[in-house]
Amino acid sequence: MIVDVLTIFPEMFEGPMSTSMIGLARERGLLEFRTHDLRDWTSDRHRTTDDSPYGGGPGMVMKPEPLGRAIEAIQDLDDEHAHTVFLTPSGRRFDQSTAEELSAHDRVLFVCGRYEGFDARTLSLADEELSIGDYVLTGGELAAMVVTDAVARLLPGVLGHEDSAVDESFSTGLLEYPQYTRPAVWQDIEVPEVLRNGDHAKIEAWRRRKAVELTLARRPDLLEHAELTSEENAWIEREKDHADSQPEED
Ligand code: SAM
């Protein structure tokens, strides 16, 4: 997969995109990651990428001409169309299923905003707009890194074990079950016995139950779309009825 990023701060990507799994993915040729400095497509001495907003108001807006030229030039780098993603707080909320969708593209181009954001006309160059959450960052770079990280680890061969991404939070529609490692007792807290007895069917069943319990406790909204057995649905209903019948605390 090729990931291109258009930004006025290419240096921000150096550490995060060269470290750990992402760095390895690049070394192994599973991910090609390229940054492009938007200022290279400006036409004035000061390499200006912003201008004041029509209609007045605070802040500056990203100039459309350098952005348009840059996107065209980056698209021309390869025959394959780069799926173009503008990072913006008003975009579709990024989640694990969006990461899976993006990982199916051979090329993705992330366009990072700064200042008060994009000139609205340039949004027509986007195949989609993505937000990483309901908060406002100073720029799209961190958002592009978050999305690239989540997408890159889904590419075949990036994670050490092919199944590592299969059971994780969100991939099954549930949060992940609790994980433990050695020692078996730490600060008087024991690792559950079932995980130490080597009975894989029991371990599977315990993990599944814990995933459902945790999701019900922390993210009940996810259960609406999770694939659940009839026993699990019945158990969830009993738990909800039980919670409803408890007197409310002051
Ligand atoms: N004035 C804009 C608004 O209210 O929607 C916010 C602009 S923000 C200060 C500057 C840039 O940061 C945006 O153009 C976008 O690229 C990026 N950004 C900020 N928050 C983001 C978020 N939650 N998700 C994705 N990108 C974000």
Q: Rounded CA gap, 194 and 176, in Å? A: 17
Which of residues 132, 152, 172 is at a domain's end? 152
Could you tell me if 129 and 197 lie in one domain? no
- What pLDDT is stored for residue 163 in this prediction? 56
Is residue 179 domain-resident? Answer: no
Q: Give the position, in ligand 1's atom list, of the atom nearest the Cα of 86.
A: 16
User: Which protein residue's CA is at the shortest distance from atom 9 of ligand 1?
Assistant: 138
Rg (CA), the chain: 23
Q: How many domains does the chain have?
A: 2
Q: Rounded CA gap, 82 and 1, in Å? A: 10
Ligand 1 test: best mutation among 86, 109, 137, most atoms within 8 Å of CB?
Answer: 137
Ligand 1 test: best mutation among 12, 49, 85, 87, most atoms within 8 Å of CB?
Answer: 87
**List of E strands, 126-244:** 128-131, 185-186, 189-190
The CA-CA-CA angle for residues 222, 173, 241, to 5°, reads 45
Instruction: Give the domain CATH number at 28.
Output: 3.40.1280.10
pLDDT digits (tens, 9 = 90+) for 54-68: 999 999 999 999 999
Give residue 93 CA to ligand 1 midpoint distance, Å: 13
Give residue 130 CA to ligand 1 midpoint distance, Å: 10
Is residue 89 domain-resident? Answer: yes
Do the beta carbons of residue 174 and residue 215 sit within 8 Å?
yes
Could you tell me if 194 and 144 lie in one domain? no
Is residue 88 domain-resident? Answer: yes
Q: Which residues contact 49 (CB under 8 A, 6 or more apart)?
A: 8, 38, 39, 42, 62, 63, 66, 67, 114
Do the beta carbons of residue 31 and residue 158 sit within 8 Å?
yes
Q: Which residues contact 65 (CB under 8 A, 6 or more apart)?
A: 41, 43
Do the beta carbons of residue 226 and residue 172 sit within 8 Å?
yes
Could you tell me if 194 and 143 lie in one domain? no
pTM for the complete prediction?
0.94
In terms of C-beta density within 10 A (0-12 exposed, 13-18 middle, 19 or more buried), how is residue 228 classed? Answer: middle
Give residue 113 CA to ligand 1 midpoint distance, Å: 7
Could you tell me if 25 and 98 lie in one domain? yes
- What pLDDT is stored for residue 71 in this prediction? 98
Ligand 1 neighbours (beta carbon < 6 A)? 87-90, 112-114, 116-118, 131-133, 135-140, 143
Residue 249 vs residues 213, 238, 243: alpha-carbon distances, Å: 22, 20, 12
The mean pLDDT of 116-139, rounded to a whole number, is 98
The mean pLDDT of 43-53, rounded to a whole number, is 98
pLDDT digits (tens, 9 = 90+) for 79-114: 999 999 999 999 999 999 999 999 999 999 999 999
105: left (phi over 0), alpha (psi -120 to 50) or beta: beta
Give residue 136 CA to ligand 1 midpoint distance, Å: 5
Give residue 91 CA to ligand 1 midpoint distance, Å: 9
pLDDT interval class at 76 (50, 70, 90): very high
Could you tell me if 44 and 110 lie in one domain? yes
pLDDT digits (tens, 9 = 90+) for 128-185: 999 999 999 999 999 999 999 999 999 999 997 655 777 788 878 999 999 999 999 9
Could you tell me if 15 and 124 lie in one domain? yes
Q: Rounded CA gap, 157 and 168, in Å? A: 17
Q: Which residues contact 1 (CB under 8 A, 6 or more apart)?
A: 30, 31, 32, 103, 105, 106, 107, 108, 151, 152, 155
pLDDT digits (tens, 9 = 90+) for 203-242: 999 999 999 999 999 999 999 999 999 999 999 999 999 9
Residue span of the structural domain in which 101 resides = 2-152
